[in-house]
Structure 1
């Protein structure tokens, strides 16, 4: 997400170095209110120095980190130090965090001293337990809510834990010791698997990992509330983080039933148990990327290194299926050590905020979007819909409508030719593309709502993209309500061209109920109250557009599809 100049106050900037096993990540983030919850990134850079590989000889013997690698690390630190100076990051707000590869290095002390002598920065080594806790907070930052088992797959180790974070001011909960760490990172697993295949001990390795994962789960003492929820829903949600799992996720995206998959970011991507465990298909796709003769087999965001680790990750995935309780679905998370460290520094109140609402606040109209959201919400019938096939109330929550309301006027300056198409791309390559903490389903909903607000017609170049977003949403009922709410939003924007005014909140009002027409068919009856000074005649086009959504030929799937007839009264 782009950071406005007003959000670049140096006193709120934090610079972090995440010195992992497979690479070193440098970043500068802003924790300035009101967008602190999403931790906007001003600068990020990755140096592909593998501290894990540097500690093994060609014969597999453990060796100290060599002088050439240490010099390359120090040079990258010096460059980042200059970048911190360019951004005026306070020295007290620069942190260097190191994990497994630095912690276990034969010459760890000498390595850290060289960094200290070169740039003057101390290296903070995260203990196993603390690494798990920070990683858990990174996962908690990645989604609006989290409730299930979590795994972080690094280069040298993997952590297993459980996590609960809900948007009700209840702070993040996890085991006291953070997580259970096991020496089965993606790089470590690749090395162990190669040795096992050479020695014919692959089954022994698998049994070793299975025993370790089973014991780790028993150690965690998962809360009964999570266990009972899993029993009721058919299994746990497993939240996955770390480079090895992200590579697996990108391969799954490349094999998704929706092609091309329209959302490029891995954070918030969901896969079913069946998709996650289809290791043969994933391995086949990854192997194709390593075939120099197959130029069309490359997979977005999957490097040759990650593709080469897929067989090892596949073994871990198979073990998880056997060692852990039933997994219903998996969610992929971008949050790691950097995000976890920053998220830990925020107050529980800020951590409980909805990322989508926070991200859209800077684009709110000069007046209050809360009034707009309440007005939109009043256009939905108030009847309970829990467990109903058309459960619109659980989808179009006040938080979602609040985020939508913040952007209702955003594309007003665009030409009519661009409004709908810019809106449909807003969450993938537009204004919300870089927002941290948003589900793929939410990205699709907001994009389609904004597109519908501007009429919904996109050029041929964007038709497939829009259809693929609709497929991610899934429910035809939800798609119908998107068209309805978009049309209602256009009416509101016409009545309140500068935003819903706190001084004149009664200019427009809605009352929505379910009713029957003269033939006894169910209809959505929308009573539109218009204050003096405005007339229904001046809003004829907008009112007609709402009614058109209720015409059978405009239902999702056509006359025999899904939708509701609309009756408007003024």
Structure 2
């Protein structure tokens, strides 16, 4: 087999026009208010840089009185004053407030909005359909699903929508928020069996039609909001899940059943002591869990996917992405967004990527992998040196940390683990799953070994970072693989350093690796 080095692909990232902007978005919910701040800049796309969360319980008493209480409004206004002061102190270019079910459903919602506008804030009260549309937009830009059910359960309401072709098709809001249902049904602490049954009966009645549709169309269910994220964290703690990542986690029906059963048996104070549960949700988490349990049972679903994004991110995408406000490639966008945040030698990275692509193709008879592994290897080659932004020593470990420190939308947890491990072992060490073993599948240990070997050889073919190797030739024998480097002058550094990986190559591919040089024509 033979391959020559072709023209290197440009490393420039697609960015949007415009100057650096700092945008704040406030999600004023029935239970909590949260300000998130994004920096959006050419060359680095966007990143979350700050967040302030306040418990406001704006919807307190709404279920029984139909009105926002004075205390609830005062708590919300105090939080908004805090956010307004933060925006002024940090020179935000813009801050927007989006209000949801409590503000739109209350008899005195208009009165509350007048008080909010007196603070000089730009506020939009979302309709139930608007809220559902923003949720779908968040899922469309953070998962690889084309079609899905999308559910957002807050303090005052729950939205269940149908996403089709990454676009909102239909949906509606239901009076099934965690705060609202707690006030309506769960009077005891812990709740009594009859109270739980009454709540679940109410959920079944309210969602009867849509749950029949879910059963007839068993698409993936993606759930968002603080309630479901806390349920997922509790499930992860119970099984000693090795990742501190929630977005992209699949919460099985069995796990949810166990968590909800455990929560219903504890008092509010006992729940507050649970690791993984925000203390201010301890009194309402049961109601939210019961809603999700009912949806999975009645919808005939085996579980749901957790979204770390929601209405706030949907609002962000609507602002910064041109219509139809969709990323062309979710996974590719977020991988490149990570790459763009850390300065490095772009020319070296491009050459390593190219060598990895060549080697993957040339060694195909030995590994037999396909497009999924090729994409993973290419992403690892792109990110392999991001740890250099921390420091040279142990930059492979720094790189793994940066890859694993936050969810990468578009990747499953398994894929992100493999990506992080490939970055970790791109320069030395024996590739092993380590603490991540439980996240991986059968065959992944060998997959990691082989892809890490290719990546490491690609790295050492560029050891001098001078672009001296111009092409590769590979001859595969029954016991040996001969790798010939084509260059104008003998690249002794590359030959020597690549040759040191012969033991790893033998372990990965069962062949002896011989490295030699051939002068370029």
Count of residues in correspondence between the two structures: 492
Other-structure match for 1:169: none
SS at match of 1:367: helix
Contact 2:139/2:309, CA 8 A, preserved across alignment: yes
Structure 1 pair 120–193 and aligned structure 2 pair: CA distance change class (3 A): same
2-structure distance, mates of 1:447, 1:281: 30
Other-structure match for 2:291: 316
2-structure distance, mates of 1:442, 1:138: 21
Q: Could you tell me the TM-score, scaled by structure 2's length? A: 0.81
Structure 1: runs of 5 or more not aligned: 1-5, 166-171, 228-234, 518-522, 552-562
What is the correspondence of 1:273-288 to structure 2 with a 5 Å cutoff?
Answer: 273-276=253-256, 279-284=257-262
Matched, 1:377 2:357: yes
What is the correspondence of 1:91-490 to structure 2 with a 5 Å cutoff?
Answer: 93-117=94-118, 119-145=119-145, 147-164=147-164, 172-175=166-169, 177=170, 179-194=171-186, 200=194, 202-217=196-211, 227=217, 236-256=219-239, 259=240, 261-276=241-256, 279-284=257-262, 298-300=274-276, 302-324=277-299, 326-345=300-319, 346-347=321-322, 351-353=327-329, 354=332, 355-363=334-342, 365-367=345-347, 369-381=349-361, 392-398=369-375, 400-412=376-388, 418-429=394-405, 433=406, 438-456=411-429, 467-475=434-442, 477-490=443-456
Structure 1 pair 416–394 and aligned structure 2 pair: CA distance change class (3 A): same
1:59-87: CA deviation from partner (whole Å, max 9, x where unpaired): x5444330x44344333323322332344
1-structure distance, mates of 2:388, 2:222: 38
- Structure 1 residue 370, shift from structure 2 partner: 4.8
Other-structure match for 1:560: none
2-structure distance, mates of 1:451, 1:396: 17
Structure 2: runs of 5 or more not aligned: 1-14, 516-521
Matched, 1:542 2:516: no
Q: Could you tell me the TM-score, scaled by structure 1's length? A: 0.75
2-structure distance, mates of 1:180, 1:356: 33
2-structure distance, mates of 1:144, 1:45: 29
Other-structure match for 1:15: 24
2-structure distance, mates of 1:200, 1:328: 26
Contact 2:149/2:219, CA 8 A, preserved across alignment: yes
1-structure distance, mates of 2:506, 2:162: 45
- Structure 1 residue 123, shift from structure 2 partner: 2.0
SS at match of 2:304: strand
Contact 2:249/2:305, CA 8 A, preserved across alignment: yes
Matched, 1:79 2:82: yes
Aligned alpha-carbon RMSD (Å): 3.7
